[in-house]
Amino acid sequence: MVPAPASAAPQGYAPGPGCAWQLMSNSTDLNVAFPDANATYWVLPYALGPGDSIRLSGTFPAARYFSLNTYGTDLDTVDTLRDDAIRPDPGSINPYVAPVAMPAPAERRWHATVVSGAADHSRNEIRGLPAGQQAPVGFLLVRIYVPDDAASPNGGVTLPTVTFSVGGQSIPLQPCAQPFNPRRYQGPIAAALTRVFDDFIERAAAASFPDNAAEVTFTNPATTAGLFPNGDNKYVGSPLTYRPGRVAVIRGKAPTFPDSRAGQSPATPGLQVRYWSMCQNDKVTPYPVVACAADFQTRLDADGYYTYVIAAPADLTPQQVASSDLTVIPWGTTSVERKIVFLRHMLPSPQFYPRSVQASQDSGAPPASTMGPYYPRATYCSAETVRSAGWPACYR
């Protein structure tokens, strides 16, 4: 994929109005607010006055999941337009609606519009600003999960072109040649952006799982507000603390999913979720992800259960469990003692919904009581026990 030509960010400053999608977040670039390691997030900041709009022109990516999301200055969700809800252009096909072979890029085009007021999703409109917000500022995020080609985070297509309609003027923007990462620059604007993001994320993440939350016990977060939440995902999480020679073992039943890397369509019927993953994160600012094991990266036993071991390399290596059905997720740096591990469920089917994370949160019931075998049961265990006696000894 060759990105459209555009100016790169000058030293110490955010990109000017010459390009779109100025910010990109993933597990290696602007790794903040607990991202999934198998997803990439592109951010377009904007200001919209009454009657202003943003016109988007794009191509459906070859990926497991794709969505457009808007956020206010509190970094909470304003509106979402998901892949299978986007109407394709005349003569084009939306590959997320029916399990079809992926059409050529020219045959999967779409347009959408961010508006300042009420939005009509049937016309591919997205509300850009929350009611009651004083500042006319918002953020548009493009999310792409599990691109078919792992080397192309865009899903094999260019990012949407953007046209601002502001005060009667039309301002077209191509995607930036290189996203701007404020953590890689020096200067007043970069420092201000970093400080604003860190302050918001610090407050939001600290509220999601308080420090007194029970360790190795998965519960619903108190809130995900302020962490750029995606309404198509819900999470249960557990705090963890590193101790030398000790690992965390997590076991549960795996939902079925469309294995898009193996050629299955994201719209394949009869499966339980669109995507799920287990992710290990540092519980310190800027709350980065350490590593994830997504559905297609997770070993299962003959009964369809996963067993994760979260371990430091000094305690357990993937090679030491290579012949088992264990999946190792690294602790990351052991100098960060406070960790948090999330199980993520995306878009459960109606049939699976009662056992999903979503059902637990919608009902307010503890996930251990609603998820049945799909609830992740965790425990601490000696690394030596795992090596010598296997993970079942950890639950005796």
| 326-335 mean pLDDT | 89
Considering the domain architecture, whether residues 243 and 105 belong to the same structural domain is answered as no
Q: Is residue 9 in some structural domain? A: no
| pLDDT of 206 over the 70 cut | no
Considering the domain architecture, whether residues 272 and 136 belong to the same structural domain is answered as no
Lowest mean pLDDT among 150-159, 328-337, 379-388: 328-337
CA torsion, ordered 93, 116, 346, 107, to nearest 10 deg: 10
CA torsion, ordered 327, 275, 141, 237, to nearest 10 deg: -60
Q: Is residue 117 in some structural domain? A: yes
Q: What backbone phi and psi angles, to 5 degrees, belong to 24?
A: -135, 135
- Which of 259, 214, 265 is closest to 380 using CA atoms? 214
* Predicted pLDDT of residue 176: 81
Task: Supply the CATH number for residue 140's domain.
Answer: 2.60.40
Considering the domain architecture, whether residues 172 and 82 belong to the same structural domain is answered as yes
Cβ–Cβ < 8 Å for 15, 176? yes
- Which of 98, 99, 105, 93 is closest to 155 using CA atoms? 105
Cβ–Cβ < 8 Å for 275, 300? no
The answer to whether the predicted template modeling score (pTM) of the entire model surpasses 0.85 is yes
Considering the domain architecture, whether residues 225 and 163 belong to the same structural domain is answered as no
| 356-373 mean pLDDT | 95
| 344-348 mean pLDDT | 97
Burial class for 126, CB neighbours closer than 10 Å (0-12, 13-18, 19+): buried
What are the residues facing 195 on neighbouring strands? none
Q: Is residue 195 in some structural domain? A: no
Side-chain half-sphere exposure of 118, counting CA atoms within 13 A = 1
Considering the domain architecture, whether residues 153 and 278 belong to the same structural domain is answered as no
* Predicted pLDDT of residue 215: 84
Mean pLDDT of the chain: 85
- The two three-digit tokens of residue 244, written as one number: 């030398």
* Predicted pLDDT of residue 168: 82
Which residue did the predictor score with more confidence, 212 or 332? 332
* Predicted pLDDT of residue 111: 98
| pLDDT of 16 over the 60 cut | no
Q: How far is CA 226 from CA 70, 74, 316, in A?
A: 12, 6, 35
* Predicted pLDDT of residue 4: 33
Q: Render pLDDT for 50-107 as a digit per residue (tens, 0 to 9).
A: 999 999 999 999 999 999 999 988 888 999 999 999 999 999 999 999 998 899 999 9
Which residue did the predictor score with more confidence, 315 or 17? 315
Which residue did the predictor score with more confidence, 146 or 340? 146
Considering the domain architecture, whether residues 135 and 235 belong to the same structural domain is answered as no
| pLDDT of 258 over the 90 cut | yes
How far apart are the C-alpha atoms of 203 and 199, rounded to whole Å?
6
Task: Supply the CATH number for residue 238's domain.
Answer: 2.60.120
| 176-202 mean pLDDT | 58
* Predicted pLDDT of residue 147: 96
Q: Which of 148-162, 280-294, 326-340 has the highest mean pLDDT?
A: 148-162
Write the CB contacts of 229 (distance below 8 Å, at least 6 apart in sequence).
76, 77
Which pLDDT band holds residue 280 (cuts at 50, 70, 90)? Answer: very high
| 245-253 mean pLDDT | 96
Residue 5 CB neighbour total at 10 angstroms: 10
Which residue did the predictor score with more confidence, 166 or 111? 111
How far apart are the C-alpha atoms of 249 and 257, rounded to whole Å?
23
Q: Is residue 1 in some structural domain? A: no
Q: Render pLDDT for 163-183 as a digit per residue (tens, 0 to 9).
A: 999 888 888 888 887 665 555
Considering the domain architecture, whether residues 324 and 379 belong to the same structural domain is answered as yes
For residue 330, the enclosing domain spans 211-395
* Predicted pLDDT of residue 12: 32
- Which of 84, 342, 309, 112 is closest to 237 using CA atoms? 342
How far apart are the C-alpha atoms of 334 and 132, rounded to whole Å?
44
Q: Is residue 196 in some structural domain? A: no
Considering the domain architecture, whether residues 131 and 245 belong to the same structural domain is answered as no
Considering the domain architecture, whether residues 35 and 168 belong to the same structural domain is answered as yes
Burial class for 279, CB neighbours closer than 10 Å (0-12, 13-18, 19+): buried
Q: How many domains does the chain have?
A: 2
| pLDDT of 281 over the 50 cut | yes
- The two three-digit tokens of residue 343, written as one number: 């199980």
Q: Is residue 12 in some structural domain? A: no
